[in-house]
């Protein structure tokens, strides 16, 4: 059985795949120097897949600091599960001042 050797080493193919993945990821990444607004961050958090763990966030709503997880966003309403509670509380999007991700 004669086999022909291919002139391209395996590492080149692997590197190409890594470069394509990096290019693909970089298309969706935002520049580190620019930060997200509260509305943009809520939109991104609400689009996480169901199997992904929800990050613990710090929400500032009406000058009150809340710690919890964003469970759902419907139109102009936010549903936040407080860190130490089991109940989901509804807030209006207009009341939201800032969002910070603490633990992912």
> Strand pairing partners for 61?
64, 96
Report the alpha-carbon distance of residue 67 to residue 59 in Å, rounded: 6
| Any domain includes 1 | no
Quick check: is 67 in a domain?
Answer: yes
Does some domain include residue 18? no
Compute the distance between CA of residue 70 and CA of residue 86 in angstroms, rounded to an integer: 13
> Of 29-38, 68-77, 85-94, which gets the smallest average pLDDT?
29-38
In a domain, 81, yes or no: yes
- Judge whether residue 4 has pLDDT over 70: no
Question: In whole angstroms, what is the distance from residue 45 CA to residue 54 CA?
Answer: 8
CATH of the domain at 40: 2.30.30.100
Q: What is the pLDDT of residue 13?
A: 44
Give the chain's domain count.
1
Structural domain of residue 64, as residue ranges?
35-103
pLDDT of residue 3: 54
Quick: pLDDT tens for 34-63. Answer: 588 889 999 999 999 989 999 999 999 999
Tell me the C-alpha distance between 22 and 2, whole Å.
Answer: 38
Query: Domain for residue 42, yes or no?
Result: yes
Rounded CA gap, 87 and 17, in Å?
Answer: 45
């Amino acid at each position: 059985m004669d086999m022909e050797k291919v002139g391209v080493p395996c590492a080149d193919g692997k590197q190409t795949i890594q470069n394509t993945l990096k290019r693909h990821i970089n298309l969706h990444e935002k520049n580190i120097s620019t930060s997200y607004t509260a509305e943009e961050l809520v939109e991104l958090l609400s689009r996480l897949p169901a199997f992904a763990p929800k990050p613990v966030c710090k929400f500032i709503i009406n000058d009150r600091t809340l710690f919890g997880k964003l469970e759902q966003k419907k139109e102009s309403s936010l549903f936040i599960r407080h860190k130490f509670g089991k109940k989901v509380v509804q807030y209006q999007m207009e009341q939201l001042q800032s969002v910070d991700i603490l633990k992912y």
